[in-house]
Amino acid sequence: MPVGGAHRGEVIMCTVAILAAALLETAAPVTITVRPEVEVGTINPYLYGHFLEHIYNSVVDGLWGQLIRGPSFEEYPETLGDDIIVVNGGWRFEGDELVGRGVDSHVLFGKYDWTDYTFTVEAKKEAGSEGFLILFRALDKDNFYWWNLGGWGNTYSAVEHEVGGKRMNLRARTGADIIIEQGRWYTVAVKVAGTSVECFLDGERVAGFRDSQNQRGAVGLGTWATDVRYRNARVTVDAKTVFALKPAQHVKQVSGLWRAVGDANAVYVQEEGNALNSRFCQGIKGDAGAGITQGNLPAEAGVAYTGSVWLRGHGTVMARFAGQEQMLAADADAWQEFPLAFTPKVSTADAEFSLVLAEKGKVLVDLCTLYRKDSPYRPAIYDLVKGIAPTFIRWPGGCYAEHYRWKDAIGPARERVTKPNNPWGGLDPNLFATTEFIQLCRDLDAEPIIVLNIAHHEPPEELDDYIQEALNWLEYCNGDASTDFGALRAEHGYPDPFDVRFWEIGNETWVMGVEAYAERAKRFVDALRAKQGDLEFLLCGSGGHGLKWNERMIELAGTHMDYLSVHHYMQGSFEDEMHNGVEYPKFLHQTAQIIANSPTPHIKIAVTEWNQQSTALRSG
């Protein structure tokens, strides 16, 4: 983690690198004198650690050992009918309204040979950080235009053109200072005729341009990190409606990540209002054999797997996993938890888990989980992490931390709430959260770093609530059982405080500007210090080689940080990355010099995110 402030050890590291380079260049004899009895600096015990974020299946379907995907049945059904192509994200009809969520999430419909038309739709933002995506002249899923209303963090609107999966911003020709309000319906229209494109919002023309690349194409709707509703979507040609978006009839509403099996006449409903936790549960009504299943699950011969499933209704349900069966007799109008226990006889990476009716019946299903009995982790991944021996782990992110609400994910699984993974797409069932993270750190003998959500994506009037939320989280982690949240932690099975010492104030807050971020960071640190005086704080430094941000942060908030947290992702050609590998240490030393010359030379540098964003160096 820390590179250090103005530690002399850094100079030694730099000197050795220069000497090594000289040896390679000249091949002349060089004498190096090593004096092991002379101490020139100390190596920080937290020299190397890990950044753990809910991205790329690093936690869900990754390190965390819970096997069932979509355990709370919150994913929208993937089949909306033959008229709609789901490119990405979660989409469902609620009545006549198409509801969507996810990141880079969109659907296509209509005909690819349409040329001149007007596409009109009503749209409402329900939650999230952006607005609407209105697709037109789509040749396929990788070649289209979309009007991005309230994009880029809801700062402006513009048309984008995607060609071969690569997106270009046409802001210079179509940009408008339009932001999208939450909770109100807008009428959006796009009119295309020949090379002319015109964009209308609530009847007012706000953008227009000419483009000759796509002269035909279908239409679609999308969202980016926002929960949206669309209704009355239609395409007209010469004032005649040629397409109106409507829900398909007799579609099996099976929660995404699951699929229906058995009885072709069975009724499947993703039911709202009767769920055990979160919003939805899965309804199954049919004859024997009707049910739901999912595959591609790992199973190891001779290993015991345990978990549970919650049922409500009347009917015997057969649970199957890796060739093993278990009967569950549901006979109540209230939710019942049924333990699951399986010991596979054969190892496979493609086991199936199914819940099917053993007789005619009608049941609701919710919160289905399955773990190895001998470990809460996936051993193949956990053992690799343990072999690396990280001295600290930073969690929950990353961009994920910027939207994380810790109270959604404490206590028994039945009390946890599935939430959208706003920055990275999909849903997170919140089964790996504070207590599980602390246990992971203890198992690996690593120090935990918790990154706080400082509400920099939220309205200013909510700031005080987020400061209080941070204080409550601190008390949940470090308070004794006499405190309100310490008592809650004890109730959850952890009587002893976690003693989390390192707290990071936000993540990649550059969009705020350094002045506003420094002021907000000081408010959080002052509040947390007042509650516990021996904490250590990481404040956001620059991304890349941004010395100006670092210098100003140290000026404005040096008294409120123990570590300056910097991020860097290398990208470009092989040569670019090799050059970057030389330049980045120089940047760190320059930052260290700024610290050394400041009134707060105690500050250390924490490189809390560093990686490659291209494959050039990895692949050679």
- The answer to whether the CB of 531 falls within 8 A of the CB of 474 is yes
Give dist(CA 153, CA 54) in Å, integer: 21
Give dist(CA 109, CA 119) in Å, integer: 11
Percent composition of the chain: helix, strand, coil (DSSP 3-state, to 5)? 25, 40, 35
Q: 572 φ, ψ to 5°?
A: 110, -160
Pick from 50, 140, 85, 119: nearest CA to 393: 50
pLDDT in tens, 62-80: 999 999 999 999 998 866 7
CATH class of 84-244: mainly beta
Provide the token pair at 613.
């964003």
Provide the token pair at 148.
């991005």
- The answer to whether the CB of 592 falls within 8 A of the CB of 551 is no
259-372 shares the fold of 84-244: yes
Provide the CATH topology of domain 259-372.
Answer: Jelly Rolls (2.60.120)
- The answer to whether the CB of 187 falls within 8 A of the CB of 203 is yes
Which run of H or of E encompasses 203?
none
- The answer to whether the CB of 9 falls within 8 A of the CB of 43 is yes
Q: Is 562 helix (H, G, I), strand (E, B) or coil?
A: coil
pLDDT at 25: 53
Q: Tokens 């050679």, residue?
A: 620
Residue spans per domain, the chain: 84-244, 259-372, 501-620
- The answer to whether the CB of 37 falls within 8 A of the CB of 381 is no
Q: Which amino acid is at 101?
A: R
Mean pLDDT for back-to-back runs of 10 residues, the chain (620 residues): 41 35 59 88 85 93 96 86 85 91 91 96 94 97 96 93 93 94 97 96 96 92 94 96 87 89 90 92 96 97 98 97 97 96 97 97 97 96 95 95 96 95 90 98 98 93 97 98 98 98 97 96 98 98 95 98 95 82 92 97 95 64
- The answer to whether the CB of 256 falls within 8 A of the CB of 72 is no
Provide the token pair at 123.
């749209």
Calculate helix-pair angle for 8-26, 574-596, nearest 10 degrees.
Answer: 150
Give dist(CA 468, CA 452) in Å, integer: 11
Q: Tokens 């971020």, residue?
A: 517
Give dist(CA 89, CA 104) in Å, integer: 7
Query: How do 196-201 and 204-210 pair as beta strands?
Result: antiparallel
Encode 522-556 in three state secondary structure.
HHHHHHHHHHCCCCEEEEEEEECCCHHHHHHHHHH
- The answer to whether the CB of 46 falls within 8 A of the CB of 391 is yes
- The answer to whether the CB of 401 falls within 8 A of the CB of 449 is no
For the four alpha carbons of 503, 508, 512 and 517, in that order, the dihedral sign comes to positive
Q: Tokens 């890796």, residue?
A: 322
- The answer to whether the CB of 210 falls within 8 A of the CB of 203 is no
pLDDT in tens, 268-290: 989 988 999 999 999 999 999 99
Give dist(CA 478, CA 471) in Å, integer: 10
Long-range contacts of 567-570 (CB under 8 A, 24+ apart): 567/508, 567/541, 567/542, 567/543, 567/607, 567/608, 567/609, 567/610, 568/543, 568/544, 568/607, 568/609, 568/610, 569/543, 569/609, 569/610, 569/611, 569/612, 569/613, 570/611, 570/612, 570/613, 570/614, 570/617
- The answer to whether the CB of 113 falls within 8 A of the CB of 95 is no
Q: Which amino acid is at 508?
A: E
pLDDT at 23: 42
Q: 328 φ, ψ to 5°?
A: -125, 115
- The answer to whether the CB of 361 falls within 8 A of the CB of 316 is yes
Q: Tokens 């932690």, residue?
A: 489
Provide the token pair at 590.
């320059």
